Every structure is written in C-alpha cells, then in structure tokens.
Structure 1
Amino acid sequence: MADASPMTESSSDADTEEKNLRFHNSQIQILASDGSDKSRDQKTLRRLAQNREAARKSRLRKKAYVQQLESSRMKLTQLEQELQRARQQGIFISSSGDQAQSTGGNGALAFDVEYARWLEEHNRRINELRGAVNSHAGDGELRIIVEGILVHYEDIFRIKGEAAKTDVFHILSGMWKTPAERCFLWLGGFRSSELLKLLISKLEPLTEQQVLAINNLQQTSQEAEDALSQGMDSLQQSLADTLAGSLGPSSSSGNVANYMGQMAMAMGKLGTLEGFIRQADNLRQQTLQQMHRILTTRQSARALLAISDYFSRLRALSSLWLARPRE
C-alpha cells in the first residue's frame, strides 16, 4: 500500500501534465484559427468595401448619363418647338432663346433650315431609288419610291410659298442655293423647259408617242415661262417708273405727299412678286407630274435620278469654284 501511493501520484501528475499540454495546444490552435478567421474577415470586408465603391461609382455614372440624355431630349424638344413656331409665324428664334431677330431675316433663316432638311431627306430618297434601280427591283417597289419623291417635291414648293410671304426677295435671289445653281436660277427655281431638254437624251429609248408628248410638254412649259418672264419685266419697268416719279426735292409738303403716294404704289406692286413665285412653282410641279404620266415607272425613276445628278453636279461645281487656287 505504501509503495503503491507514489506510483499513483506520479501517474496522476503525468496525466495532468498531458492534459495541460493538450489544452495548451488546443488554445494555440484556437488562437491560430482566430487569426486566420480575422485575416479572412478583413479580406472579405475589403472586398465588400471595394464592391460598394464600384457600385456607387456605377450609379453616379448612370445618373449622369440619364441626366445628359434628359438634357439632350429637352434641347431637342425646344428646337422642334422653335422650328414649329417659325413655320407658323414666319420667324426664327435662336436656339439659345436669348433674342429674336427681325421678321424678314428670321423668315429667311427659317426657310434655309427647312430647305437643308428637305435636301437631306431628298438625297436619302434618291439613294434609296438608286439602290432599287441598280438591284432591278420590281415596278411596284419602284412606283412607291418614285411617287414618294414626287410628293416630297410638293413639300418644297409649299415651303417656298410660305417663305415668300415673309421674305419674297430671299426666295427670288436664290441665296439658299449654291452659286452655280443661282447662275441658272429662274424665279426662285429651275426652268422646266431646260430640264426637259436634258432628260430627253437620258431616257432613250422612247416611243414616238412619248417623244411627241415630251416635246409638247416642253413647248407648253417654254410658253408659260416666257409669259411669266414678260410679266416680271413689266413689273420691273413699272416699279422703275414709279420710283422715278418720286424723285425730286422733298422740302415742300406737296412733294412729301407725292413721295409717300409713289412709295405706297411701289409697295403694292411688290406684292405681286409672291404671285409670280407661286405660279413658277406651280409650273414646275405640273411639269414633274406630267413627265411622270408620260413615262413608264422605270423611265420616271431614271428621270428623277438624272435630275438629282444634275443639281448635285452644280453643287459640286460651286464647291470646286470656291476652293480654286487664287493667285
């Protein structure tokens, strides 16, 4: 019994020491595990923070983009409203909205904007027609495109008529066209008879009936153009005589009254200029319609392409002339 006690005590101490060692090791493992978890947590927190920052910047960029789109939409709406007012009232308001210019100048500027848009749309339609012709599209498809272009021509005649009410001299001068086009200008546009001459050689082969009809149309157009030209000459002579009658000293009250009366007469005669432009455009419109009735669908398509190419070359000639080297 006495010998057994020391052995038991020694065994108990060894067990205790082993337990303490295991506990110590477990604590080390726990601490190591805590350190690893903390490291992982810090990485996760950093990654989450980076994701939040990236999301915040993405929201800011999206918000700025939406605001930019909204601003552009509002500006476009404003421009469309201003242009609509210009069409209705014959005035043009600047995009900044700061101030309006005089009615005549604004009317001319509004027409120039309208004409530029019309020409852009016209070129798009002509390119569509050219593609259809080159791809040998059917007559049904060609007819739709051709009739659409003829209707589009009616738009420019209507726009010119409205612009003439505001600034008839701007339409007559042709300042909305290129210099080479102005060289051939007649009463604010092209001469129908001259255009028909150009087309005859481009539309061969033509039947005898078609040749006869086109020649008659050309002669009729020439006669109408001559009548309008004579009317313009008479108007210019009458205006010159009226203005000459108001010349002289204006010191007396009688001369002042005579001057005012003569100027009132001149103003009344100028009012007929709008009618001349309207008649000239009616002649151009009727010529295009009659040409379409005489020709087949494919011939009408070729005719419209030839007319467009002619005026495109005039515009190109103007650009070359303005860019020519000067000594």
Structure 2
Amino acid sequence: MAPSLMSRNGVEKNDKTFHKFFETWLAEQNQELKELVSVSRDVSKGNNIVVEERVLLPLIERVIQHYEGYYGEKSKYTEEDVFGMLNPTWRSNLEGAFLWIGGWRPSMAFHLLYSISGLQFEPRLPQLIRGITTGDLGDLSPDQIGKVDELQKKTIREEKDSSEKLARVQETVADASMVELSHIVTQLMMISGSGGGGGKILEEEVEANLATKEEGLVIILQKADNLRLNTLKEILTILTPTQAIHFLIAAAELHLRLHEWGKKKDAAALHSDADPKF
C-alpha cells in the first residue's frame, strides 16, 4: 500500500488523474446511453428475438464491462489515496450530498427499478388488463418481483454491515493513541513556539497510527464498490434483456443528469460568491 500521508502534490496529481478518467468514462456512458435508447426503440417495433440475440445481449455485456472497468480503476486509486476517493472533488456538491461510502447507495438501485417500473406500468395498464405483455419494466412477473425483493433484503443487510464497519473505523480517530499523540504534539509545539510536529520519531508514530485507519478505509470502500457493482449485475440477471436495457437507460440518465445539474448549481453558487455585494 502507498504511504498513508501522501505529499500534497501527490494527492493533487492523483486527484486530477482520476478526474480525467472519470470525465472520459462519463462521455463513454453518454454514448452508451444513446445506443441503449436506439435499441430500445428497435425492440418496440417488433422482431424482439432477433434484436435480443444480435444487439441487446452484446450491448448489455459491453455496458457491464464498462462499469467493471470503472470500479477496477477506482480500486487502484483507492489504494493510493483513499481519503480523496471518499471525498471526490470531481463530484458536484449535489452528488456529494447523496454519496454513501464514496459512491451511490446500492439499495438505491431498487428504488430506481421500482420507479421506472411504476412509470412504465401506468400508461400500459389497459394493455396488461387485456393480457397483452409489454416486455418492459412495467411487465415484471411475480417471480421476478420475488427475486428482486430477496436481493433487496440481502443488499440492505450488506449495506448495514459496511456502514457499521465504517462507523467503527471513524470512531478510532478519537482512540487513546490519537488523543495521546495530539496532546504530545501540541505540548511540544507550545514549548518550541513553532509549528513543528515534535520531530521525526513522533511524525513516524503519527504516520503509522493513521496508516492503520487508512487501511481499514480502503477495505471498506472497496467492499462498498463491490456491492455496488454486484447489485447492478444481479438485478440485470433477474430482468429480461429488454427490461435490462430499460433499467440501464434509467440508471445512465439519472447518473448523467444529476452530474450536470450539480455542476450547474456549483457554477451558479461560485458566480454568486464572485459578485460584489453592496
């Protein structure tokens, strides 16, 4: 693992590098969204079996691989700078307000699924009453609903476990060793009358103490990211290819639009702060 306290320049370099990767990944997701919307229209025109075999399944697999690539890259950066990954500067304040352990809350995927299912179900209700299947998320079978419910319960349990582990690591910031070190360093600073930290030996103690906490955070963040990815993949296995396309469309739309709305709000707030007040 990389040193626990990176130099400021190192952190900034790491931050900018992942930021660049993230922006590229978003552009790729936007292109995938266009493809998803296009094939969903082809499906609605009929000839579903041919479209599923030739287009839907390969596209779904490609989108999954794109998510896997994102989390694989994020895992590497997490080991270099877990603090930066838990507080991502490339996210807007709006997005940051809804983060759970450095990313989206896995159980949110089920709210997304039920929301789009309800939106698609209502206008097609007359068709469903007549026994005409729609094939989209408004047409979930009882078996699918049961599987989604079981997966949701499992996901919530794992979420809770990670939240509790994070809380335990966060509480160690006030453990006896940290309190003692902060007191000793403060006393030495007062005696010397400078901003010194009390010498190299003491700095090494601080470094070693923080390193153990950092290692705990790396494990928790990587586990949370695995849960995010696995939840997405398991939901897709429950859905038909056509339903999976609709779900991936909704997920991409929500992600991209939230990012855009957040950036606009941040820019507006920055502009407001820059205006002279009279």
TM-score with structure 1 setting the length: 0.64
Letter in 1 for 2:180: G
Work out which of the two has the higher radius of gyration on C-alpha atoms and give 1 or 2.
1
Show the counterpart of 2:149.
215
Q: Greater RCO between the two (CA within 8 Å, min separation 6)?
A: 2
Show the counterpart of 2:80.
166
SS of residue in 1 equivalent to 2:182: coil
Show the counterpart of 1:302.
246
SS of residue in 1 equivalent to 2:138: coil
Q: Calculate percent identity across the aligned residue pairs.
A: 26
Q: Compared with structure 1, are the counterparts of its residues 261 and 103 closer, same or farther at alpha carbon in structure 2 (3 Å cutoff)?
A: closer
Aligned pairs (5 A) from 1:90-169: 102-136=9-43, 138-140=51-53, 141-169=55-83
Alignment check: 8 A CA contact 1:181 1:311 kept: no
2:160 to 226, 233, 256: 226
1:244 to 179, 188, 200: 179
Alignment check: 8 A CA contact 1:246 1:262 kept: yes
Superimposed CA distance per residue, residues 167-217 of structure 1 (whole angstroms, 9 cap, x where no aligned partner): 111110022222221111111111111221121231222111111111111
CA distance in 2, matches of 1:106, 1:295: 41
Q: Which runs of 4+ in 1 moved over 6 A?
A: 255-259
Show the counterpart of 1:193.
107
Alignment check: 8 A CA contact 1:178 1:315 kept: yes
Show the counterpart of 2:125.
none
Alignment RMSD (CA, Å):
2.4
Superimposed CA distance per residue, residues 253-281 of structure 1 (whole angstroms, 9 cap, x where no aligned partner): xx976785455223222222111111011
Q: Compared with structure 1, are the counterparts of its residues 113 and 262 closer, same or farther at alpha carbon in structure 2 (3 Å cutoff)?
A: closer
Alignment check: 8 A CA contact 2:14 2:77 kept: yes
CA distance in 1, matches of 2:71, 2:206: 33
CA distance in 1, matches of 2:140, 2:183: 62
Superimposed CA distance per residue, residues 85-119 of structure 1 (whole angstroms, 9 cap, x where no aligned partner): xxxx9xxxxxxxxxxx8322211111111111111
Letter in 1 for 2:260: A
Question: More displaced, 171-180 or 226-235?
Answer: 171-180
Aligned residues between the structures? 226
For structure 1, the 5+ residue unaligned runs are: 1-88, 90-100
CA distance in 2, matches of 1:174, 1:216: 32
Alignment check: 8 A CA contact 2:30 2:256 kept: no
